[in-house]
Chains A and B, each alone.
Chain A
Amino acid sequence: MLAYLVRRLIGGATVMVLVSIFVFGLFFVLPADPARLACGKSCTPELMAEIRHTLELDIPLPAQYFRFVKGIVSGRTYLAGSEAQLDCAAPCLGYSYQTDELVTNLLKDRAPATLSIAFGASILWLLIGLSSGIVSALRRATWIDKFSQGAALAGASLQIYFVGLVLQFFLVDKLGWLSSPGYVSPNDYPMEWAQGMILPWLTLGFLLSAIYARLTRAGMIEVMSEDYIRTARAKGLTSRSVNFKHVMRAAITPIITVFGLDLGQLLGGAVITEYVFNIPGLGKLATEAVSNVDLPVIVGTVLVAAVFIVMANIVVDLVYMILDPKVRLA
Chain B
Amino acid sequence: MTAILQVKDLKVHFQTDDGLVKAVDGVSFEIEAGKTLGIVGESGSGKSVTSLAIMGLHKGSRAAVSGEILIDGVDVNQATEAEVNKLRGKSMAMIFQDSLAALHPFFKVGDQIAEAYQVHNKVSKKAAQQVAVEMLGRVGIPNPTQRMEDFPHQFSGGMRQRVMIAMSLSCNPKLLIADEPTTALDVTVQAQILDLLRDLQREFGSSILMITHDLGVVAEIADDVLLMYAGKAIERGTVRELLKTPEHPYAWGLLTSIPKLTGATDSELLAIPGTPPSLITLPSGCSFSPRCSYKNRSKVDCESAMPELAGVKSNSSHLVSCHLSETDRVAIFKSEIAPKL
Contact = CB atoms under 8 A, between A and B. Distances in A.
A324 interface: yes
Contacts of B259: none
B225 interface: no
- Using C-beta atoms within 8 Å of the partner chain, give the interface range for chain A: 20 to 34
B322 interface: no
A250 B104 contact: yes
Interface string A225-248: 011101111111111000000100
B295 interface: no
A60 interface: no
A253 B104 CA distance: 14
A228 B57 contact: no
A327 B82 CA distance: 37
A231 B151 CA distance: 16
Contact of B98 (A227, A235, A238, A324): A227
B101 A226 contact: yes
Interface in A304-330: 323-326, 329
B119 interface: yes
Given A226-B101, A249-B104, A325-B105, A234 B85 contact: no
A277 B242 CA distance: 80
B57 A233 contact: yes
- Using C-beta atoms within 8 Å of the partner chain, give the interface range for chain B: 20 to 34
**Do most interface residues of chain A lie in helix, strand or loop, or is the interface mixed?**
helix
Contacts, number: 68
Given A230-B102, A246-B104, A249-B107, A236 B153 contact: no
B119 A237 contact: yes
Interface string B87-105: 1111001101010011111
B81 interface: yes
Contact of A326 (B85, B151, B167): B151
Interface of B: 55, 57, 81-82, 85-90, 93-94, 96, 98, 101-107, 115-116, 119-120, 151, 153-154, 167
Given A236-B120, A237-B85, 13 more contacts: A228-B101, A228-B103, A230-B57, A231-B103, A233-B57, A234-B93, A234-B94, A235-B167, A237-B119, A246-B107, A250-B105, A323-B106, A325-B105
Interface of A: 226-228, 230-239, 246, 249-250, 253, 323-326, 329
